[in-house]
C-alpha cells in the first residue's frame, strides 16, 4: 500500500506556520536594526551613523541628517508592516527585499574597497558587526523573503493603502521627533581649570626684586674679561608645525601637549584619563593635558573629573563636529601626543589602537631623535 500524501489543508496550514515564522523573524531583523541605530541615545547614535557611514559615502551633512532619520523610519515601518496583511505581497515584501539588496550591494563594495574592517553600522553600537557578517545576514534574510514570496498567495492581500502609508509616515515622524536635527553650534570653551594644586609658594613682588638683584650681583664678574660666547646647544626636539588643533587650544602646538577626545559617560574614557593622571603625578615634566568632550551627557563631566582624580582644561563640542575633528574612522577614547605641532602618536578606541599606559609612559620620555 502506498503512503498517503498530506492533504491540501494540512499543506496550506504548514505553509502558513512557516510563513508567519519567517515574517516574525524578518520583522524582528528590521525592528532591531532600527532601534539599535537609536542606541544609546537617538541624537548621538544617528549623528555617529551619519559621520562614520554616510559622510564617507559622499553625503553632505544636511543630506545625511535627513537621510539617516528617514532610513531608520523606513526600517521601523517595514518591521511593523511585515506583521500586517495590507499590500503584504504586492508592496511590503518587495520593499523589504529591495532594502536588503541595496544594503548588500553597499557592503560588497565596502568589503572590496576597504576590506572587512570595523563596524558596518547595521545594528549601530548595540550589536557591532563586520561588513562580511552583515552581508551574510542580509543574504540569508533575502533567501527567506524569496521563499516567503513563493509560498504567499497574492489574493490574501488586503488593500487598504492608508494603513501602510500611515505606518510609514508615523514611523519616520517618530524618528525625527526622537532625534531632532540640531543647528550647528560653535565649540563651547570652559574656564581653564588648574590641573594640579600648586604646592610651591610664589614669591611676593618685593621678594622677586630682591631675588633679581641678588642674581644679577652674583652673576656679574668682578673683573670683566672678554670671552667667546658658547655655541648654542642643539635641542633634541622636532621642528615646529601646525597640528590643526590650534583653533581649539591656542598653545597646543607649543612644546609637548596631550589632547584627549572623550565622552563624559564613556567608561573607557574615564579609565584612560585616570591612567594619564597617574602618569602625570609620577612625572613632574609630563605634558599638559587638554580635553575636548563630546556634547553628550555633559552633566557627567564633574563625576568624570572626580574619577580621574584631577581636573583639566576642557571644551565641549557638538557630536558631529567632535567626530569630524577626531576623525570619522576613529573612536573614543582618543589621545593625541603632540610635540611642537607634530602628532607623535594617536590612540583611539578600545581595540588594537587603544591607549597603552606603559607604552605611553616610555614614549613621552624619549628625545625626538629616538622617535622620528
Is 130 inside any structural domain?
yes
Q: What is the pLDDT of residue 212?
A: 47
Domain residues for the domain of 315 are 188-194+238-371
Is 218 inside any structural domain?
no
Is 230 inside any structural domain?
no
Question: Do 243 and 173 share a structural domain?
Answer: no
Question: Do 261 and 361 share a structural domain?
Answer: yes
Query: Among 178, 213, 246, where does a domain finish?
Result: 178
Question: Do 323 and 248 share a structural domain?
Answer: yes
Query: Quick one: which of 55, 24, 50 has its CA closest to 37?
Result: 50
Is 224 inside any structural domain?
no
Top-confidence residue, 208 or 151: 151
pLDDT, average across residues 236-243: 90
Which three three-digit cell numbers place residue 304?
A: 568624570
Could you give the number of structural domains in the chain? 2
Question: Do 257 and 164 share a structural domain?
Answer: no
Q: What is the pLDDT of residue 186?
A: 54
pLDDT tops 70 at residue 17: yes
Is 257 inside any structural domain?
yes
Instruction: Return the half-sphere exposure (C-beta side, CA atoms, 13 A cut-off) of residue 324.
Output: 15
Banded model confidence at residue 155, pLDDT cuts 50, 70, 90: confident
Question: Do 163 and 35 share a structural domain?
Answer: yes
50 DSSP 8-state letter: I
Question: Do 269 and 163 share a structural domain?
Answer: no
Is 217 inside any structural domain?
no
Task: Please report the DSSP string for 75-115 in residue order.
Answer: HHHHHHHTTS-BTIIIIIHHHHHHHHHHHHHHHHHHHHHH-
pLDDT, average across residues 214-227: 48
Query: Quick one: which of 164, 335, 352, 190 has its CA closest to 258?
Result: 335
Distance of CA 281 to the CA centre of its chain: 30
Query: Among 131, 149, 178, where does a domain finish?
Result: 178
- List, for residues 293-347, the tens digit of each pLDDT value: 999 889 999 999 999 999 999 999 998 889 989 987 889 999 999 999 999 999 9
Is 2 inside any structural domain?
no
Question: Do 244 and 140 share a structural domain?
Answer: no
Is 214 inside any structural domain?
no
Question: Do 253 and 172 share a structural domain?
Answer: no
Question: Do 247 and 135 share a structural domain?
Answer: no
* Mean pLDDT of the residues in the chain: 85
43-57, 92-106, 109-123, 181-195, range with the lowest pLDDT: 181-195
- List, for residues 28-65, the tens digit of each pLDDT value: 999 999 999 998 888 888 988 888 888 888 888 889 99
Question: Do 365 and 271 share a structural domain?
Answer: yes
pLDDT tops 80 at residue 226: no
Domain CATH for 327: 3.40.30.10
Q: What is the pLDDT of residue 215?
A: 45
Top-confidence residue, 228 or 264: 264
Question: Do 116 and 20 share a structural domain?
Answer: yes
Question: Do 20 and 118 share a structural domain?
Answer: yes
Amino acid at each position: 500500500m502506498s503512503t498517503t500524501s498530506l492533504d491540501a489543508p494540512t499543506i496550506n496550514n504548514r505553509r502558513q506556520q512557516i510563513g508567519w515564522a519567517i515574517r516574525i523573524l524578518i520583522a524582528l531583523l528590521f525592528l532591531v536594526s532600527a532601534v539599535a541605530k537609536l542606541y544609546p541615545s537617538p541624537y548621538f547614535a544617528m549623528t555617529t551613523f551619519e559621520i562614520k557611514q554616510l559622510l564617507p559615502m559622499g553625503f553632505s551633512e544636511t543630506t545625511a541628517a535627513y537621510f539617516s532619520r528617514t532610513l531608520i523610519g523606513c526600517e521601523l515601518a517595514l518591521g511593523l508592516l511585515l506583521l500586517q496583511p495590507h499590500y503584504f505581497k504586492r508592496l511590503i515584501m518587495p520593499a523589504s527585499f529591495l532594502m536588503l539588496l541595496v544594503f548588500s550591494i553597499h557592503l560588497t563594495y565596502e568589503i572590496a574597497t576597504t576590506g572587512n574592517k570595523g563596524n558596518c553600522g547595521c545594528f549601530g553600537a548595540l550589536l557591532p558587526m563586520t561588513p562580511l557578517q552583515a552581508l551574510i545576514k542580509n543574504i540569508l534574510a533575502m533567501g527567506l523573503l524569496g521563499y516567503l514570496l513563493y509560498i504567499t498567495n497574492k489574493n490574501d492581500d488586503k488593500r487598504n493603502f492608508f494603513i501602510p502609508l500611515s505606518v510609514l509616515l508615523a514611523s519616520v515622524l517618530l524618528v525625527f521627533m526622537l532625534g531632532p536635527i540640531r543647528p550647528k553650534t560653535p565649540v563651547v570653551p570652559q574656564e581653564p581649570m588648574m590641573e594640579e594644586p600648586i604646592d610651591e609658594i610664589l614669591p611676593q613682588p618685593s621678594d622677586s626684586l630682591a631675588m633679581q638683584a641678588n642674581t644679577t650681583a652674583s652673576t656679574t664678574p668682578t673683573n670683566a674679561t672678554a670671552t667667546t660666547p658658547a655655541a648654542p646647544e642643539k635641542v633634541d626636539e622636532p621642528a615646529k608645525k601646525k597640528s590643526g588643533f590650534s583653533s581649539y587650544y591656542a598653545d597646543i602646538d607649543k612644546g609637548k601637549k596631550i589632547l584627549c577626545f572623550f565622552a563624559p559617560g564613556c567608561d573607557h574614557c574615564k579609565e584612560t584619563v585616570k591612567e594619564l593622571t597617574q602618569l602625570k603625578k609620577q612625572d613632574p615634566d609630563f605634558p599638559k593635558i587638554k580635553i575636548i568632550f563630546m556634547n553628550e551627557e555633559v552633566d557627567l563631566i564633574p563625576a568624570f573629573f572626580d574619577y580621574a582624580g584631577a581636573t583639566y582644561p576642557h571644551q565641549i563640542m557638538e557630536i558631529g563636529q567632535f567626530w569630524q575633528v577626531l576623525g570619522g574612522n576613529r573612536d573614543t577614547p582618543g589621545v593625541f601626543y603632540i610635540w611642537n605641532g607634530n602628532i607623535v602618536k594617536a590612540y583611539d578606541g578600545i581595540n588594537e589602537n587603544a591607549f597603552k599606559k606603559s607604552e605611553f609612559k616610555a614614549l613621552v620620555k624619549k628625545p625626538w631623535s629616538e622617535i622620528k
